Amino acid sequence: MKATIQHTQQGIGLYIHWPFCLAKCPYCDFNSYVAEQIPQEAYAKALVQELQTTLAEIPKVPLTSIFFGGGTPSLMLPSTAQRLIDTATSLLPVSENLEITLEANPTSVENQKLKDFYHAGVNRASLGIQSLNPTALKALGREHSVGQAIEALTIAKKIFPRISFDLIYAREGQTIQEWEGELQEALALTHDHLSLYQLTIEPGTIFAKQYRQGKITLPDEELSTAMLTTTEMITNQYGLQAYEISNYAKPGAESRHNLTYWKYKDYIGIGPGAHGRVTLDQTLYATERHKNPVKWLEHVQQNGHALSVKEALTPAEKAQEMLLMGLRLIKGVQAQQFERRCGMALTDAVNMSMLSALVEENFLSWDQECLKTTPQGRLRLNAILEALLK
């Protein structure tokens, strides 16, 4: 009985993956495909089907957020979004302030669809602007212009109550002055939320190949550190605060859906390659869907879902996951919540002598209740996790 109450308190998020794009960006390692003709109806039907099958199997906990990600989900028909939102909200109780986010690219075709998505139920737009510098947009392989980006923002502001957009910085050849200028320009256009990512080279991308061949270089550690520090300072001046390593928001405007990931709460993943973390009978399961869209579609058509992995997570695995996500948050990880979620004490999950060394070095702060990174520690989170986790 108690478990149900907790679920009620916690709620659940829903992630829906749309795998198609107009073009593959050279830095992107997400599960996305360029298709000449998107079989809209087949995929819409399959997504609805998979959602129905999945929701039938989980407890009726309140839905806190829906996130359409991709790929480029703004390439789906607004009616598809409508059908999915209707399905989810009819099968699950809906929490107050249900957040429904759509990732959109600022091309003119997509700009025109924004209003229809709003009418379908989307109440938050996340625009993939990436840069306000024309040369950089080209280098990043983006299909839109600076003008279209600004147009998209202007349109979206009139439509959606909440808007975020992405920028990629610490790009090849970028100086700190150039970035400060671009960031200030962006902040003037910002509504209440920004995702500011430093460019990283992901394995398997076009950039990774070029990087190996020495065709592209990235700013050195010193410069990228300075860029991160200056970013936090400038966003602060505009009233936006970092709440995660790469995410900045006005108080209360944080992405509810993404917080679900970082706080390591339950979420359902629907669509090709989508991951989920779902509690069933007090056991937390990691779920995965078939990655390849064609395969995924076949499975859904045959079985009503395309689940490829469903494995119960051990306390140790949960502990690892909760820490590697939670320490990304400025507020860190609460010991009590940690123990409740993972079934083991935070102090048993980490190497305590390393913890005190890291605290001494001013990389972590720990007061027996909350473990969090310091600004210095955030810069080195990967190495800290590697050292800290048992």
Partner 1 sequence: MTDTPLELIRNFSIIAHIDHGKSTLADRLIQACGGLTQREMQAQVLDNMDIERERGITIKAQTVRLNYKAEDGRTYVLNLMDTPGHVDFAYEVSRSLAACEGSLLVVDASQGVEAQTLANVYQAIDARHEIVPVLNKVDLPAADVEDTKNQIEEIVGIPADDAIGVSAKTGLNIEAVLDALVKRLPPPKGDVNAPLQALLVDSWYDTYLGVIILVRVKEGRIKKGMRIRMMFNGSTYNVEQVGVFTPHMREVESLGAGEMGFINAAIKTVADCHVGDTITDDKKPAAKALDGFKPSVPVVWCGLYPMDADDFEKLRESLGKLQLNDASFHYEAETSAALGFGFRCGFLGLLHLEIIQERLSREFDLNLIATAPSVVYHLFKNDGSAEDLHNPADMPDPSYIDRIEEPWIKASIMVPDEYLGAVLGLCTERRGQQIDLTYVGTRAMAIYRLPLNEVVFDFYDRLKSATRGYASFEYQMDGYEESDLVRISILVNQEPVDALAFVAHRSVAESRGRAICAKLKDLIPRQLFKIAIQAAIGSRVIARETIGALSKDVTAKCYGGDISRKRKLLDKQKEGKKRMRQFGKVEIPQSAFLAALKIDR
Contacting positions for partner 1 (CB under 8 A): 15, 30-31, 69, 197-200, 221-222, 224-225, 228, 245-246, 258, 260-261, 267, 269, 273-277, 286, 288, 317, 320-321, 324-325, 328, 354, 357-358, 361, 363, 378-387, 389
Looking at the Cβ atoms of 146 and 385, the one nearer to partner 1 is 385
Looking at the Cβ atoms of 370 and 389, the one nearer to partner 1 is 389
Looking at the Cβ atoms of 44 and 196, the one nearer to partner 1 is 196
Closest approach, Cβ 116 to partner 1, in A, equals 26
Closest approach, Cβ 154 to partner 1, in A, equals 26
What is the CB-side half-sphere exposure of residue 188 using CA atoms within 13 A? 7
Looking at the Cβ atoms of 117 and 261, the one nearer to partner 1 is 261
Closest approach, Cβ 147 to partner 1, in A, equals 26
Closest approach, Cβ 265 to partner 1, in A, equals 10
Complete DSSP assignment for 63-113: EEEEEEEES-GGGS-HHHHHHHHHHHHHHS-EEEEEEEEEEE---HHHHHH
Going by C-alpha positions, the residue among 264, 305, 265 that lies closest to residue 288 is 305
Looking at the Cβ atoms of 148 and 254, the one nearer to partner 1 is 254
How far apart (Å, rounded) are the C-alpha atoms in residues 344 and 322? 12
Closest approach, Cβ 198 to partner 1, in A, equals 5
Going by the DSSP 8-state scheme, the letter that residue 205 receives in this structure is S
Going by C-alpha positions, the residue among 75, 32, 23 that lies closest to residue 272 is 32
Looking at the Cβ atoms of 197 and 211, the one nearer to partner 1 is 197
Closest approach, Cβ 112 to partner 1, in A, equals 28
Runs of H (alpha helix) within the chain = 2-10, 40-57, 78-91, 108-120, 134-139, 146-159, 176-189, 206-212, 221-237, 256-262, 293-303, 315-326, 335-342, 346-349, 352-360, 375-378, 381-388
Looking at the Cβ atoms of 110 and 266, the one nearer to partner 1 is 266
Closest approach, Cβ 152 to partner 1, in A, equals 21
Complete DSSP assignment for 143-195: SS-HHHHHHHHHHHHHH-SEEEEEEEES-TT--HHHHHHHHHHHHHH--SEEE
Tokens of 36: 């000449």
Going by C-alpha positions, the residue among 145, 20, 149 that lies closest to residue 73 is 20
